[in-house]
Structure formats: C-alpha cells, structure tokens
Chain A
Amino acid sequence: MFLNYLKLAIKVLGRRKFFTFISLFGISFTLMILMIVTAFLDTQIGKNAPLSNSDELVFSDMIIMKLMVPDTTNIVDSTLMDGVMRYDTTYDVGERQSSYSSSSFGFWMLDQHLRDIGPQENFSLYSSGHSFDLFLNNNKLTLFGIYTDAPYWEIFDFQFIEGKPYSAQSVENQEQVVVMTDKAAEKYFGRSRDIVGESIELGKKEYKIIGLIKPSLTAESFVHSDLYFPYTNIDPRYLEDGKMQGGFNSVFQVENPKQREALIDAIAFFGDNFNMPNPERYNDLTLIGKTFFTSYAYQLVTFYDDPKKSAWIALVILSGLLFLFLLLPTLNLININVSRIMERSSEIGVRKAFGASQGQILTQFIFENIILTFLGGVIGLILAVALQRVINASQLLGDLEMQFNYRVFLYAVLICLVFGIISGFIPARRMSKLHVVNALKQA
C-alpha cells in the first residue's frame, strides 16, 4: 500500500513543479536552520567528548556571600471608627541585605570543605582561565590555560592524540608539565603531531608537554582551553589557606544521574550551615550546584539564587523561539497542501467509494507530506552541512566548532517527521472528512 502511495507522491510532486519548488524551498530552508541550531546545541551541550558523561556532572562554580542585617518595618494602619480615627501599628522584624559578593571559589574552600560533602564518586577542582601572551617571530600569540587536579582527566574524557594526562603524583610533586591541544600546538609549533616531549615557556616557567589532545567542541570555559597544567603550578597566592573566594571552580561526578539532585541539595545545605569566619563582614553563604544544562542555561538567563529557574526560563524561551520559527513555514505549507489536495478530490472520492476509510485517506496524505518533507530534509541537510563548514571556516562562532554526528542526523529525521506530520495533518484531515458524493462532484 505504501509503495502505491509513494509512487503517487512522486508523480504528484513531478506534476506540479512550481508548487513542489515552493514547498521544497520553504521546507529545506526551515529544516536547514533547524539543523544548524541542532548542531550548534549538540556541539554546545550534547554528550560529546570531553563531556560524554555530562548527565552525571554537577558544577559548583560560584560562591555568594552576603551580610544580612536586622531590619524592622513599621506598618501603621488607620481606621475610622465612630467618627474617630484609630491607628494600629505592626512591627515586622526581618532582614535586609547590607552587602553582597559573588565570585568563583577559593582553592582552600573547595579543597578543604566541599570535596567530601555529597554522594559523588569523583570530584575535581580547576581554575578559571588564564591567558599567556607569547611572542613568536615578532607575532603575538595568546594561549589560554587552566590549572586542574588529576581527577579532572577522569571526569572529562578528552581524546588524547599523543601522551597522557598528568597523575595525582605529578600534581603533588609540582611537576612543570602541560597538556596541550593540537590546535594550540599547530599555532605554536606549526605542527600538530610529535609534540610530546617538547617544551614550552610560559610565564617565565618552562613546561614539558606530556599530552596532546583534541580540543573540546563546546566553548564552555571549564573544558575549553589551549593548555592544562597541574594546579600546583599556579601562583601560590591562589592556594593560600582560609581563602573562600577566588579563582577556582569545581565539578562533581555522580554514579547515577538521579543522584544529582541530592548532591545539589547537599551543596546548598553546606552553604546554609557554614560557619562564616568573619560574620561581621559576611554572615550568609549561598552555594549553588548546577547540572550541565542548568549551568549552560544560567549563562543565558541568570537568576542568581535560582539556577533551576534559569534552566526553566531558558527552555521556555528556546521552545517559544522554535515554535515561532516553525509556525510561519508550517502555516504556509498547510496552505499549499490544502490547495494541492483540493485538486485531488476526485481521487479521494474514488478511494472512499472503493472502501478507503477516513483513517486510510489521512494516512495516505500525511505519508505523502512526510515524503515531501524528507525530500526537503535531504536538501536542508546538504545545505546545513555546507553552511556549517562555512561557519566553522570563518570562525563566526569563535572557537566553537559545530559538527554533525549521528545524533544531529537523528534529530534532523525527527524534525522532518514532526514537521511533515504537523503540516500534513490539518489538510489531510480536512480532505479525509470530505463527503464522497461532494468529492466526486467537485472533480
């Protein structure tokens, strides 16, 4: 039966070339944009190396300190009783924020306090990005580096091209070693292979390169860098005891994604119950744990104390934009489809007369529309891959390199299917309800 539908669908598409062109143009353009957006999102927040286990991670990268002071509010109510004005005063004893400070964590805070608070199976701390200016043949080259501990390499599964990461022992021994991306190697050495064993001078220190990795696809700062050093090489001021704020972030890995909530709660609980060392300066601590998606959404829409709200609002905004973006081409396609199907009322009449049920007519026309959409999808995919190459080559999105993988392809298929069903359903339903006699008369 579907072969028969397919034959017919192809014939119909060939018969009305202009209609087909308009439909395909709209579909392929829409799907191209959707595929590019999907590829972008997959590159940014998909489960790609080094974030293959992103659903097991909780990030805590912000420490908020406040000074809360008592605050009393007087509320005076007035009422006119028996011609006399009476007053009732209420005192509301509360708190008000007197000062506020938010930044990344101090090393001490993470290393001494946060490391063991929850159900995590692994924990890593890493610095924020540091930049290094190098001069090569009178050209300035800026590379970015982050300082990490050894578990960092267990949590983030970077792809090593050569060499290996540094061990806990290397970190402890303050070894001057570095892991470098092949892209940075290309910039510095002019080649991206046989780099391990070479040295590089950075900030008046000479580092031995022990690993060469592929850069992370995502531009997220906790993985995206050129160089990775053992944290013991950082300026010692960052590692001073007693520092709650400054320069470090943390990531927790849990065994099961379901444990993330418990860990986020544990982080918040720890913050709420922490004894502040200088309560006259800051007496309130807020710590926030974020899942990978929340952490991403938090950058788009920031609600300081409520990252979940950020995630929710980001999701609503993204879905809303997607809906609006799809609405116009869908309405257009519905319109075109209605007139296309109207021409075929004789066929609908005959099919119904010979026993096709309403459901079978509906299926046929939706199927035909899905064929059209998939055709548009294939064109859209080719255009999207071409556009993605242009975007990557022009570095329009900075260091972010979009890529198409099987997931993006599956999403593309899904998008085509949904688009095909939605835009085909309304006209097909309308026509499937057509009365046989009227359908035959209209022909």
Chain B
Amino acid sequence: MIHVNNVSKVYRTSTVETLALNSINLEVPKGEFLSIMGPSGCGKSTLLNIIGLLDEPSDGVVKIDDQAIADYNSKRMSSFRNERLGFIFQSFHLINDLSVIDNVELPLLYRKVSAKERRRLAEEALLQVGLKNRMRHFPSQLSGGQKQRVAIARAIVGRPDILLADEPTGNLDSVMGNEIMDILLRLNQEEGTTIVMVTHDESMARKTHRLVRLFDGSQVQ
C-alpha cells in the first residue's frame, strides 16, 4: 500500500547541510500497524511527514497504491490527504476556539458533505472514541487523554484508510497512553485501517505488527 523507495531528506542552510533521512526503503502493506522508533532527532517525524505528504523528500519516491504522489499538484495533494490520510499529533493540535464537535468536523469541511451529514459523521466518530457526551465542550475543558481522543475522532471522521500518528501517547501518562493505544489497535483490527505510528515507547511499539528503527536518519532494523 505504502512504498517508500530510497527516500532521503536533506535540510540545507547557508552554512550547514543536515542529512535527516538517508535512503530509506519501506513497504507498508494494507492493514498493517507499523511503528517507527528511534532516538530524538533520528528522522522519525520527518519520515512520517513525508509519508503523509506534509513534506517532500529531497530524493526518492513515496508511492501510495502504486501512485507517485510527488507528481500531484498542490490541490490534488490536498484532496488526497483529505480523503485518504488521517493525522494524530503528539500535541493534539486541536483548535481551542472550536467546540469538540466542530474540531472533529474539520476534515469534512473540505469535502462536499452537507452540514447535517457532517454532524452525523462527527458524532459517530466521537462515539467510537467514547466522547460523544463531551461534544459541546471546548478543548480547554478536557484532559490530555480526552484531547487526544478528540484528535483521533478528527483523524478518523473522514474514514481514511491510512492513519499517521506522531507520538500519540507522548504527552500522556501510561493509563491514558494505553487507552489511546487500545483505540488505535481496535481501529486497525476492526476497520482494517493501516497505521504508521512514531513512538518513543517500546511497550507501545511492541503491540504493533512491525517495528522499524531509525538511527541518524538511517534504517537500522
């Protein structure tokens, strides 16, 4: 499903050139739950951003369903992200001025979906993460774990087939972290969602199908 072929990423400034990723090759079949581990600064998030089309590789190709996404123009890329990908971030990135339900509806705003249908789908997504009773609340009224569950609801509301999670449990204690992990595992098992997760936590990574380790931008396992 996801093919990462020889992907490298170099950050250049006028004085320094940093190799963030060095010829990464990765295949993620449909329905797999893959975790990426490695020390800070090893390029995990960069790789995830490249897979999620949020960043471009300096070299190499990312293909999803055999289509080279780099060939897409920015509008097509936006709509591809909207329909096929869902993102979960370590620091949630919820919009504080919007209620929980409005936050969850966000990806559907960029599709041709009626307001009524948006509301229905968002409520359904919140039900899946067990937060339907908090839909009128604002992010500031929620705990960290609840915020991340809202972020998951937002990521899955558009029924994407790929979820990209960047340290989803990184800001949470172990109890909340486990809750989040359970939701992700359930999504993977029950809905068949392909998940690529970056994590620092070995115990979380062990729960997934496969583990890829990076070190200094290179794949070591």
Which A residues are within 8 Å of any B CB, using their own CB? 1, 3-4, 7-8, 11-12, 15, 346-347, 349-360, 435-437, 440, 443
B110 contacts A7, C-beta separation under 8 Å: no
Interface mask (B163-203 → A, CB under 8 Å = 1, otherwise 0): 00000000000000000000000000000000000000000
In the complex, the answer to whether B106 meets A350 with C-beta atoms within 8 Å is: yes
Please tell me which stretch of B21-29, B87-95, B126-134, B205-213 contacts chain A, meaning at least 4 of its Cβ atoms lie within 8 angstroms of it.
B87-95
A347-B91 CB under 8 A given contacts A352-B78, A353-B52, A354-B106: no
* A354 with B79, Cβ < 8 A, contacts A4-B105, A8-B95 known: no
Name the one of A15, A352, A437 contacting B97, with C-beta atoms under 8 angstroms: A15
A11→B95 CA distance, assembly (Å):
11
Contact of A356 among B91, B93, B110 (CB under 8 A): B110
The interface centre, meaning the residue of B78, B110, B154 with most chain A CB atoms within 10 A of its CB, is B78
What 7 pairs between A and B have smallest CB-CB spacing?
A355-B82, A11-B97, A354-B107, A355-B110, A357-B78, A436-B54, A350-B93
Interface residue? B98 (CB, 8 A): yes
- The interface on chain B, measured as residues whose beta carbon lies within 8 A of the other chain's beta carbons, has a size of 29
B109 at the interface (CB under 8 A from A): yes
| A-binding residues in B (CB < 8 A) | 49, 52, 54-55, 74-75, 78-79, 81-83, 86-87, 89, 91, 93, 95, 97-98, 102, 105-107, 109-111, 115, 154, 158
Q: Once the chains bind, are B93 and A355 in contact (CB under 8 Å)?
A: no
A7 to B98, CA, bound (A): 8
Taken together as a complex, chains A and B put the C-alpha atoms of A8 and B97 apart, in Å, by: 6
Bound-state CA distance A354–B158 (Å) is: 9
What's the nearest-Cβ distance from chain A to residue B168, in Å? 14
Is the Cβ of A437 less than 8 Å from the Cβ of B55?
yes
- Contact status A357-B83, CB under 8 Å: no
Q: A11-B98, A355-B107 are in contact. List 6 more A-B contacts (CB 8 A).
A: A7-B98, A8-B98, A355-B110, A356-B110, A357-B75, A358-B78
Report the nearest B residue to A443, measured CB to CB: B93
Within the complex, which residue of B93, B102, B111, B154 is in contact with A4, where a contact is CB–CB below 8 Å? B102
B54 touches A353 (CB 8 A): yes
Find the A residue at minimum CB distance from B89: A440
Q: CA separation between A333 and B55, bound complex, in Å? A: 32
By a CB distance below 8 angstroms, the chain B residues around A355 are 78-79, 81-83, 107, 110-111
Looking at the assembled complex, report how far the CB atom of B167 sits from the nearest CB atom of chain A, in whole angstroms.
13
Closest Cβ–Cβ distance, residue A346 to chain B (whole Å): 5
- For the complex, give the distance between the alpha carbons of A443 and B90 in Å: 12
Contact in complex: B97, A4 (CB < 8 Å): no
Q: A3-B115, A350-B95, A350-B106 are in contact. Are A357 and B74 (CB under 8 A)?
A: yes
A355 CB → nearest B CB, Å = 2
CB B119 to nearest CB in A, in angstroms, measures 11
Least CB distance from A360 to B in Å reads 6
Determine if B102 and A351 form an interchain contact, defined as CB atoms under 8 angstroms apart. no
The residues of B that contact A354 with a CB separation of less than 8 Å are: 81-82, 86-87, 106-107, 110, 154, 158
Give A351 Cβ to nearest chain B Cβ, in Å: 7
Complex CA–CA separation, A236 to B107 (angstroms): 84
Flag if A358 contacts B102 (CB, 8 Å): no
**Complex contacts, B109 vs chain A, CB 8 Å:** 1, 4, 356
CA separation between A32 and B70, bound complex, in Å? Answer: 51
- Can you name 10 A-B pairs with beta carbons within 8 Å? A346-B95, A351-B106, A353-B52, A353-B81, A354-B81, A357-B78, A358-B74, A360-B110, A436-B54, A443-B91
Roughly how many angstroms separate A349 CA and B52 CA in the complex, as a whole number? Answer: 13
Residues of B within 8 Å of A435, CB to CB, are 55
Q: Are A437 and B49 in contact (CB under 8 A)?
A: yes
Complex interface: chain B residues within 8 A of A350 (CB): 87, 89, 93, 95, 106
Q: Which residues of B contact A436 (CB under 8 A)?
A: 49, 54-55
Contacts of B97 in A (CB 8 A): 8, 11-12, 15
